Chain A
Amino acid sequence: MFANLLGRLSWQAFPHDAITLGGAVSMVVIGTALFGFLLYTKRLKWLWKEWLTSLDPKKIGVMYVVVALVMLLRGLADASLMRVQQATSVGNSHGLLDANHFQQIFSAHGTIMIFFVAMGLMFGLINLIMPLQIGARDVAFPFLNSVAFWLFAAGMLLINLSLIVGEFSAAGWLAYPPLSELAYSPGVGVDYWIWALQIAGAGSLLSGINFLVTILRMRRPGMKLMHMPLFTWSVLCSMVLVVFAFPILTGTLAMLALDRTLGMHFFTADGGGNAMMYVNLIWAWGHPEVYILVLPAFGIFSEIVPTFSRKRLFGYSSMVAALIAITFLSYVVWLHHFFTMGAGGDVNAFFGIMTMVIAIPTGVKVFNWMFTMYRGRIKFATPMLWFMGFVVTFTIGGLAGVMMAVPAIDFQVHNSLFLVAHFHTMIVGGVVFGFFAGLTYWFPKIFGYTLNERLGRYAFWCWFVGFLLAFVPLYILGLMGATRRMDHYDASLGWQGLFIVAALGVGLVLLGTGFQVLQLIVSIKDRAKHLDKSGDPWNGRTLEWSTTSPAPFYNFALQTPVSGRDAFWEMKQAKATPHAKPQYEDITLPKNSGLGVFIAGFAFIAGFAVIWHIWWAAPLGLFGIIACVIIRAMNDEPEYTVSAEEIAKLERGRA
């Protein structure tokens, strides 16, 4: 009876080996300590009222970034374990991990880094900056924004729970069938993977709709599309990709779940299923996903380079055209992930050529950034260092990508470490460097003080050198024939030296991360010395710098119409005398709501129940969600108004 109530869940599900147990225990201890600290300092209520239930995009953005940075540490721990394993597991020595554990670790590493680090940092930065950049007071659908964040958090919890209860998927970050089908992965690992991504993916889709509408409908009067800052443009393109790509992920994950849970035959080896259909579907989402992540990073660099070069961005229109071209092309290249599937020469040739074509708009962007720097008065602040590191890594990775776009070459290096090195060069050297640059650049806007420059430089150099040390050997190993996802290899292959270099590289990256943690601590401690009183610490060009740092909860007291690009720069140049008496108006803002937390909580319950086949709890989760949505829909007063007099008082206090 009791066993039935808990589905597949039993004591066997809890960890028994030392490494998992260590990870699980440390997670529980840290979680409990944090909770205890909040309880002890009586901050739980404050946390709930000021943060968890907030619909202010600036606060939601901070929560995204916090979650993503914590997950970055987890992903780095996984990466270090893999590097140590491959550096030591050679010949008669078998390293720290057994094969199954190693597979779970690389699956978790990929999944966490893409969905919970890169996506989290991206949505965090969009929430924090995009509304300010278009001169708006809020996003289009603030409640949806909160739901999206909490769904993201619920997915994150689910994936980390797999470390404590049960196991994680051992089928790689994209869980190709038939390996990921019930016949070959009977445990709960793949189900954890499916439901963590399904829940977080639903959140991403909601965010995509929200930000798309925000940019198209809520810009400051006078800001035409071709006046928008390039970060906003890149977000617009990225959100178009989200809107068209994420439903495919939802559908594909649902089909895999139906195969595993209800015995369907979409992708099974028997019953008339078609595993290659999964590979097509998942990459029809997966390839746009890469661009969803990298376009905002391009946008960040397009803000940083002009600011720190004291010049207008070179070739604004061609930058926008390149973004749109990449947006379109990213939908017609997905097959290059599996040239070896055997779709035939014609099909491979088409996708190969389309892939090479993407190098053109990307090249346009890199050259435009260079031309922006040309004869500029460049200030080598940390964000600029990240940019220059990016140019090096991104060009190396891009060249490797164009090589692999040739199907004949791809047949040689498919699923080798050459490929692993390529996409890490793009994702770390492109996306992560970009987001780090963005976080450093906009940190004063978010918290009101700048980050410590010296430690930032140390962190950059450790990351940059460590990154090259870690991945250049992988390019070489790939060409030597080393395949990805190996937990062991023969000593006679002569690979160990390069693997040891790669492990040292990861060590240096970890040191860089240590510097970043230190940078954060030191900056918080010394914040009084680095306060940004002007709201414009870098002599910026776009509207987010026209309000105070940090921005007030209503972002801007006045919706003064703007004209032209680099609106704030123009205002500063014009040195317009402020109007005798600003005409404030009432501002309507959304009230806090805890329903986002509850919706995600019920989604978490439903996901956990389906993973463990606890069939009474799954409908509970579903009905909970429906009830919350209805409660929200019944609320006719979701907003409150701040009167013009109050705004005037607040503005006088800030001046």
Chain B
Amino acid sequence: MSQTTEQTATAKTIFGFWVYLMTDCVLFASLFASFAVLRFSTYGGSAGNELFSMPYVLVETMALLFSSYTAGLGLLAARRGNKRQVLGWFAVTMLLGLMFLTMELSEFHKLAVEGNSWRRSGFLSAFFTLVGTHGAHITTGLIWMAVLLAKIWQQGITSVNLKRLTMLSMFWHFLDIIWIFIFTIVYLFGVNP
């Protein structure tokens, strides 16, 4: 394959990935809309201001935001062709992602054992689904990152791997943006209804 056709092919794939991200955006939009409709449907149970601990969520948020920063540094290193830095920065990204995911799951666990599971009310159904869908995306991102890092470890930063890394970073930043909306709409609006 000549260099120009390869560039066109890469641009095409990245554009396709953008379109995919937009579809994901619409999926989240429908979940946000459902949450907005159901946020006061507590059915006699607890509302957000009784359930959420803001300092905890802030730490969680910072972990994710910082992971986006390290992913950005990792991609810059990949553009320079520095394999060791790529592996390093993305390892940090993975750790921060794991930290975020663990904190989220332990929040879910705490809510559930205190009798505030998704079965309790429409509000909690919408909460668990919206936040959980984001968490499922983070999990997907982490699996993807693990597979891709193994591949880069083996092969180095080839043009195909660079393309894949670019898409992974886009995915990761996208999840970051979604989380900012979750932080605002679910948590900040939740504690100050």
Contact = CB atoms under 8 A, between A and B. Distances in A.
B12 A212 contact: no
Interface stretch (A47-55, A417-425, A532-540, A628-636): A628-636
Nearest to B123: A272
A140 B12 contact: yes
Contacts of B23: 205, 208-209, 243-244, 246-247
Contact of A209 (B20, B119, B120, B160): B20
B19 A243 contact: yes
B88 interface: no
A248 B30 contact: yes
Contacts of B122: 265-266, 268, 271-274
Given A263-B118, A264-B119, A250 B27 contact: yes
Interface string A623-655: 000100010011010000100000000000000
Interface string A335-374: 0000000000000000000000000000000000000000
A148 to B, nearest CB: 13
Interface in B118-165: 118-123, 125-126, 128-129, 143, 147, 151, 160, 164
A185 to B, nearest CB: 19
B26 A265 contact: no
Contacts of B119: 262-265, 271
Contacts of B5: 588
B166 interface: no
B16 interface: yes
B38 A274 contact: yes
Interface residues of A, number: 44
Interface in B14-38: 15-16, 19-20, 22-27, 29-31, 33-34, 37-38
B30 A281 contact: yes
A238 interface: no
Given A266-B122, A266-B125, A255 B16 contact: no
A218 interface: yes
Contacts of A141: 13, 16
A626 B143 contact: yes
Contacts, number: 114
Nearest to A205: B23
B40 to A, nearest CB: 9
Interface string A109-135: 000000000000000000000000000
A140 B22 CA distance: 18
Contacts of A28: none
A213 B18 CA distance: 10
Contacts of A217: 8, 11-12, 15
Given A218-B12, A243-B19, A247-B26, A277 B34 contact: yes
A209 B147 CA distance: 24
Interface residues of B, number: 41
A186 interface: no
B41 interface: yes
B15 A216 contact: yes
B61 interface: no
B12 A274 contact: no
A258 B125 contact: yes
B12 A213 contact: yes
B121 A265 contact: yes
A435 to B, nearest CB: 25
Q: Which of A140, A265, A626: most chain B Cβ within 10 A?
A: A265
Contacts of A271: 43, 119-122, 125
Interface in A258-286: 258-259, 262-266, 268, 270-274, 277, 281, 284
A272 B38 contact: yes
Contact of A281 (B16, B24, B34): B34
Q: Which of B22, B38, B121, B122: most chain A Cβ within 10 A?
A: B122
B85 interface: no
Given A247-B27, A264-B118, A213 B19 contact: yes
Interface string A240-259: 00011011101110110011
A272 B47 CA distance: 12
Interface string A198-239: 000000010011101100111000000000000000000000
B116 interface: no
Contacts of A270: 43
A588 B1 contact: yes
B46 interface: no
Q: Which of B5, B26, B37, B121: most chain A Cβ within 10 A?
A: B26
A279 to B, nearest CB: 12
Contacts of A266: 34, 38, 122, 125-126, 129
Q: Which of A141, A210, A247, A634: most chain B Cβ within 10 A?
A: A247
A205 B43 CA distance: 35
Given A209-B16, A209-B19, A244 B37 contact: no
A634 B42 contact: no
B1 to A, nearest CB: 6
A250 B28 CA distance: 10
B10 to A, nearest CB: 11
A633 B147 contact: yes
Contact of B15 (A208, A213, A254, A634): A213
A641 B43 CA distance: 63
Contacts of A630: 147
Given A251-B34, A266-B38, A588-B1, 13 more contacts: A208-B23, A209-B20, A210-B16, A247-B25, A255-B129, A258-B129, A263-B118, A265-B125, A266-B122, A266-B129, A588-B5, A633-B147, A636-B160
Nearest 9 A-B pairs (CB), nearest first? A272-B41, A272-B122, A272-B43, A264-B125, A251-B30, A247-B26, A247-B27, A213-B16, A263-B119
17 contacts: A141-B13, A213-B15, A217-B15, A243-B23, A247-B25, A248-B30, A251-B27, A251-B31, A255-B34, A258-B118, A258-B125, A262-B118, A265-B125, A271-B43, A272-B41, A272-B42, A641-B1
